[in-house]
């Protein structure tokens, strides 16, 4: 493990009196870092009345030729989440991950598997993505669409935006027993928009049914070159990576699986860094957004829920360093960590806006080549369909006019009334 969980927990004892530690430089590590024990699915976050749900189901072909597609999904998960975080009214996001075309999956399921049902735990989704391995099999688009509709716990909120993305490179019509048109029509009849991403020549994707599948479910068809994806590194990435590590020190793990959850946060930081500094920077922006919510194991996030009762947390479910604290001191510790995290998020937001503007300029320079990126294919569909459901996006940030400045400083946010 990149950083031991025991160290993370030990730091919690004196967090109120310490500033963020200087993080180590990003160095290559063994890919696909996983926690020592399996994670339980995250409980859904409490949704304020002003927020609207978004369900995003990602269906990936993991047959032998799909390594590039998997890497593209790993690379761009965070950028897609970051874009969704900008929407108004503010959304709550749940992500599900399905895989198909793998001979290791049961044949009776059409070689389809649900890696995780809808969850608010984005670190769990990242963990599942990095654990994927390709293995040749039959790629049945119809079967994965049907599985997603029948097996996932889609939101029952009438105002929810429900999206499915299916990506692959074999004909969408090749299922011998299930008609893909029927499966797709069943999806849209339940309010789920199906978008398709063909990995290859756009014309070939049209001729093999991918465009028609999207059309039948009010979705959008896109074609990408999965093996030509290049991450765009910006002058702002290194600062964001440092801030990402600093934010980890503000978490106060609790619960029976607290060490596993905390370790997985660090593991997914490492997995992003293994890809490149751009992915690590995008993940940092996600961690500073309202969509990154870890109330199932972090006291700071948990105390944002008015219904959460800090005094009801069992002593044995707290880090050892916090168990002997009186309730008032525990509340003060949570408040101090909340203030530190808020300060770090302000810095991430300021630098992130500069990064986003820089990226926009670079994508415009790429022209048509930029349009064939996995990220662009997903974002264009999401933005269009979110707008149709009443979501709005702010105007893009202006392009930076000078070299990046040092991370902005600000006074710590006043703790105010102790949480919980």
Q: Give per-residue pLDDT as tens, 361-408.
A: 988 887 765 555 788 889 899 999 999 999 998 776 555 554 444 443
pLDDT at 23: 35
User: Residue 119's closest CA among 293, 378, 297?
Assistant: 293
The burial of 368, by beta-carbon neighbours within 10 Å (0-12 exposed, 13-18 middle, 19 or more buried), is given as: exposed
pLDDT at 135 over 90: no
| Cβ neighbours for 302, distance < 8 A, ≥ 6 positions apart | 254, 295, 296, 308, 310, 420
How many distinct helices (H) and strands (E) make up the chain?
14, 6
pLDDT at 366: 77
pLDDT at 22: 33
pLDDT at 151 over 90: yes
The burial of 57, by beta-carbon neighbours within 10 Å (0-12 exposed, 13-18 middle, 19 or more buried), is given as: buried
Q: Give per-residue pLDDT as tens, 252-280.
A: 999 999 999 999 999 999 999 999 999 99
Comparison of pLDDT for 124 and 371, the residue scoring more: 124
| Cβ neighbours for 4, distance < 8 A, ≥ 6 positions apart | none
* Alpha carbons within 13 A on the beta-carbon side of 137: 26
Q: Give per-residue pLDDT as tens, 210-228.
A: 999 999 999 999 998 776 6
User: Residue 344's closest CA among 21, 12, 8?
Assistant: 21
pLDDT at 17 over 80: no
Confidence of residue 416 (pLDDT cuts 50, 70, 90): very low
Location of structure tokens 């940092």: 284
Rounded-to-5 percentages of helix, strand, coil across the chain: 45, 10, 40
Mean pLDDT over 52-78 rounds to 92
Q: Two tokens at 289?
A: 């957004």
Min mean pLDDT across 32-41, 300-309, 315-324 is at 32-41
């Amino acid at each position: 493990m990149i950083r031991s969980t025991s160290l993370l927990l030990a730091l919690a004892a004196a967090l109120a009196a310490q500033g963020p530690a200087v993080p180590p430089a990003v160095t290559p590590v063994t890919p696909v870092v996983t926690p020592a024990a399996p994670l339980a699915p995250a409980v859904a976050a409490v949704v304020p009345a002003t927020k609207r749900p978004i369900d995003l189901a990602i269906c990936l072909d993991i047959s032998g030729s799909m390594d590039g597609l998997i890497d593209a999904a790993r690379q761009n998960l965070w950028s897609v989440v970051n874009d969704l975080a900008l929407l108004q009214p503010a959304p709550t996001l749940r992500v599900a991950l399905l895989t198909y075309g793998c001979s290791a999956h049961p044949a009776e399921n059409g070689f389809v598997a649900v890696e995780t049902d809808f969850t608010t735990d984005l670190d769990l989704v990242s963990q599942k993505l990095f654990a994927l391995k390709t293995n040749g099999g039959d790629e049945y688009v119809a079967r994965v669409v049907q599985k997603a509709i029948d097996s996932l716990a889609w939101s029952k909120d009438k105002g929810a935006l429900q999206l499915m993305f299916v990506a692959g490179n074999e004909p969408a019509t090749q299922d011998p027993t299930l008609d893909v048109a029927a499966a797709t029509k069943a999806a849209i009849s339940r309010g789920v928009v199906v978008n398709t991403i063909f990995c290859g020549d756009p014309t070939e994707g049209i001729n093999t049914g991918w465009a028609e599948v999207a059309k039948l479910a009010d979705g959008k068809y896109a074609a990408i070159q999965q093996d030509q994806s290049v991450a765009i590194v910006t002058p702002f990435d290194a600062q964001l990576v440092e801030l990402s590590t600093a934010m980890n020190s503000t978490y106060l793990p609790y619960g029976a699986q607290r060490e596993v959850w905390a370790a997985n946060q660090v593991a997914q930081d490492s997995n992003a860094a293994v890809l490149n500094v751009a992915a690590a920077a995008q993940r940092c922006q996600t961690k500073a957004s309202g969509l990154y919510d870890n109330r199932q194991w972090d006291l700071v996030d948990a105390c944002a829920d008015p219904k959460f009762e800090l005094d009801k947390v069992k002593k044995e479910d707290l880090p050892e360093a916090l168990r002997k604290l009186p309730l008032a001191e525990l509340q003060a510790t949570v408040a101090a960590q909340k203030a530190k995290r808020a300060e770090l998020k302000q810095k991430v937001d300021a630098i992130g806006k500069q990064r986003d503007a820089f990226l926009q300029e670079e994508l415009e320079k790429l022209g048509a080549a930029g349009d064939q990126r996995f990220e662009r294919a997903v974002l264009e569909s999401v933005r269009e369909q979110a707008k149709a459901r009443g979501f709005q996006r702010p105007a893009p940030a202006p392009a930076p006019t000078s070299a990046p400045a040092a991370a902005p400083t600000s006074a710590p946010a006043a703790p105010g009334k102790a949480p919980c």
